[in-house]
Amino acid sequence: MKVVLKIFFIILLPCLIFAKNNFKEGNKFYFEKKYDDAILEYNEFLKKNPDYYEGYYNAGNSYFRKGEYQKTLEMYKKALELKPDDEDIKHNIKVVEEKLKNQNKEAKQQDNKKENQQSSNNKEQQKNEQSANNKQDGKNQQLANNSKNDKKIQQEKKQSVKPDMSDDEVQAMLNMMQKQEKKLRQYFNQQQKRNQRSGEPDFSDFFNMSPEEIFEYMNKRMMDPFDENITRRRGNQQEKDW
């Protein structure tokens, strides 16, 4: 019987040493601040020794150092299940719960800040859109007013052209003006032909001259009673110029 116990102890001893080495390796990585490696070692230890609360406790400490408070709380609670009277575990649980509460509060405040910022941006955008719409409405109103003014001006022009005149009277006036223009053209043509026959300078066609040309022509044709050349050019005094 003693031989059997010795053989069983010899077989079990390497497993215990290996499990213990995982725990020590985890502690080593923890103090070196290699928390990810420490968690891996503690998890390997707990796979083989799920009843050791120290493995959960130290894994919880590693998660706490990483700021993963939810994982920390899970590990501490498992450790407390294995050792309900441990005051350190209870204290650490309270600390982590307070951390989680503050974390949730900060997250909520951050969300509210984002919502307020988004709401402020939306209001600013609506304000800008409203301002743009008001400017466009102002432009449209200005265009409408300009259009009304143009129509009013056109109407006033029409009224100034034919005040208190019927369409027939306007047409009659236009016909009379056309007849007068025709007579004037005939006169100018006759004058040009007469001047060509007598060797006088060409009689200017006012219908094809600009206002400046007409003004210059009239200056040249101004009469001077003491100019002998003009007096000789007149010829027959009975014949009248325009």
Local mean pLDDT, 10-residue blocks, the chain (242 residues) = 41 46 94 96 95 95 95 96 94 95 88 82 84 82 79 66 69 85 77 68 61 70 53 50 40
71 in Cβ contact with 63 (< 8 Å): yes
Instruction: Give pLDDT, residue 220.
Output: 65
Amino acid at the residue 8: F
Residue 30, Cβ density class (10 Å: 0-12 exposed, 13-18 middle, ≥19 buried): buried
CA distance 235 to 239: 8
Residue ranges of domains in the chain, CATH in brackets: 13-107 (1.25.40.10), 171-223 (no CATH)
**What pTM did the predictor assign?**
0.43
Q: List, in order, residues 6 or more apart from 218 with CB less than 8 Å away.
A: none
Instruction: Give pLDDT, residue 207.
Output: 62
Question: How many CB atoms sit inside 10 A of residue 79's CB?
Answer: 24
Tokens of 222: 């101004």
Instruction: Give pLDDT, residue 233.
Output: 52
Instruction: Give pLDDT, residue 44.
Output: 95
Instruction: Give pLDDT, residue 240.
Output: 43
Instruction: Give pLDDT, residue 201.
Output: 54
DSSP secondary structure letters along 167-229: HHHHHHHHHHHHHHHHHHHHHHHHHHHHHHHHTPPPPP-GGGS-HHHHHHHHHHT---TT-HH
Instruction: Give pLDDT, residue 41.
Output: 96
Instruction: Give pLDDT, residue 56.
Output: 96
| Vertex 26: Cα angle to 10 and 87 (nearest 5) | 100
Instruction: Give pLDDT, residue 152.
Output: 76
